[in-house]
Amino acid sequence: MQETENEASSLRARAVEILARSLRDSYVEIRGANEVEASIAAEAESLIVFLRGSDSRTFCILAASFLEDVLRRSLINYWSLKSKKSQQDYFGSNGPLSTFSQRILVCVGLGWISQEQGINASRLRRIRNEFAHNHLIHELADRRISGLVESLRPYEKTWLKMSEYASAYGALNLEETLRMRFFCNAFQIAGSVLARAKLLGVGIPAGFRPSGGFDNLTEIEQRFGNYMIRFCFDAAGVPLSD
C-alpha cells in the first residue's frame, strides 16, 4: 500500500514538473512583443513626449483615452474582430463595448485586468470625464477631484527607497505628484492588459512567470514599466543612469 502511494506521489510530481516545463517553454516563446504590442508601444513613446509639456486637462484626457484604446484594440485582436462590421457591432454607438466603462468590466471579467486595476481604471475614466465636461476644473489638485486621484495606487512612490529620487520627489508640488500617479496607473494597466490577454490567449495562466523580478516579465510589461520609471524620474528631475 505504501509503495503504491509513493508511486502515485512520484507520478503527480512528474506531471507537475512536465507542466511547469511546458509553461516555461511556452512563455519564453511568446514573451516578446507581438505586432499589436509593438505598434501600441510606439504610440505610447510619442504620446509621452507630448504629455510632458501638456496642461493637466489635456494630460488626463489623452492618457486615459490611450488606456481606453488599448482595451479596445486588445479586444479586437484577441476576439478576432477584424472586419469593420464586427467592430461597429461591438464598439459602435449601440454596441455592448461602446463605452470605456463597458470595456473595463469585460476586461475584468476576462481576467485581463484585476479587480483592483478595474477599480483604478474606472477612477481614471471618472477623472477624465470631469476634465472633459467640467470647465471649472483645471488641475488634479482641485479639491473636487484630488481625493479621487489620491485613491489611485501610488506607483510613483515605488522608488522612494532611492535617496536622490526621494529627495526630489519630496520637493515636488501636489499637482506634479498627482500627474505622476495618474500616468503610472494608466500605463501600468495598459501594459498589464496587453500581457495578460496574450498569455491567457495561448493557455498560460495570467499570473504565470518563470520566476520573479523585472527580467522575467513579458517584453510589453517591461516597456510600460520603463515608461513609468522614465516619466517619474523625468518629472522629479532625476537623471537615469544608463
**Residue 5 lies inside a defined structural domain of this protein:** no
Name the H helices within 31-156.
35-52, 56-78, 84-91, 100-110, 115-133, 146-150
Does position 71 have pLDDT exceeding 60, yes or no? yes
**pLDDT value of position 241:** 73
**Residue 216 lies inside a defined structural domain of this protein:** yes
**pLDDT value of position 24:** 86
Average pLDDT value for residue range 52-72: 97
CA distances from 147 to 36, 172, 184 (A): 35, 18, 17
How many folded domains does the chain comprise?
1
Average pLDDT value for residue range 143-148: 96
**Residue 14 lies inside a defined structural domain of this protein:** no
Average pLDDT value for residue range 134-145: 96
CA distances from 222 to 31, 99, 105 (A): 10, 28, 25
Helix, coil or strand: residue 89: helix
**Residue 201 lies inside a defined structural domain of this protein:** yes
Confidence of residue 33 (pLDDT cuts 50, 70, 90): very high
Write the single-letter amino acid at 50.
F
Does position 17 have pLDDT exceeding 80, yes or no? no
The predicted-structure confidence for 165-211, as pLDDT tens digits, reads as follows 999 999 999 999 999 999 999 999 999 999 999 999 989 998 888 88
**pLDDT value of position 161:** 96
**pLDDT value of position 206:** 87
**pLDDT value of position 15:** 58
**pLDDT value of position 49:** 95
Cβ contact 196:37 at 8 Å:
no
**pLDDT value of position 4:** 64
pTM score of the predicted model = 0.91
Structural domain for 89, as ranges: 31-236
Confidence of residue 6 (pLDDT cuts 50, 70, 90): low
How far is it, in rounded angstroms, from Cα 171 to Cα 60? 22
Average pLDDT value for residue range 97-121: 97
Q: Which residues contact 203 (CB under 8 A, 6 or more apart)?
A: 26
**Residue 2 lies inside a defined structural domain of this protein:** no
